[in-house]
Amino acid sequence: MTPARHLVLVGPMGAGKTSIGRCLAKLFGLPFVDSDHEVEQRTGATVPTIFECEGEAGFRARERETLATLLAGPAAVLATGGGAVLDAGTRRLLAANGFVVHLHADVPTLLERLARDRSRPLLAAGDREATLRRLASERDPLYAEVADLVFDTAHLAPAEAARQLASELDRCWQPSHGRPVATEPAA
SS3 annotation, the chain: CEEECEEEEECCCCCCHHHHHHHHHHHHCCCEEEHHHHHHHHHCCCHHHHHHHHHHHHHHHHHHHHHHHHHCCCCCEEECCCCHHHCHHHHHHHHHHEEEEEEECCHHHHHHHCCCCCCCHHHCCCCHHHHHHHHHHHHHHHHHHHCCEEEECCCCCHHHHHHHHHHHHHHHEEECCCCCCCCCCCC
178 is in an annotated binding site: no
Q: Which residue in 3, 74, 9 sits closest to 36, CA to CA?
A: 9
User: Annotation-wise, does 75 bind a ligand?
Assistant: no
Q: Is 16 annotated as a binding residue?
A: yes
The rounded radius of gyration (Å) of the Cα atoms in the chain is 16
Q: Is 139 annotated as a binding residue?
A: yes
Is 14 annotated to bind a ligand? Reply is: yes
127 annotated to bind ligand: no
Does the annotation place 60 within a ligand binding site? yes
- 58 is known to lie in a ligand binding site: no
Residue 11 annotated as part of some ligand binding site: no
120 is in an annotated binding site: yes
Residues annotated in a binding site for Mg(2+): 18
Residues annotated in a binding site: 14-19, 36, 60, 82, 120, 139
Residues annotated in a binding site for substrate: 36, 60, 82, 139
Residues annotated in a binding site for ATP: 14-19, 120
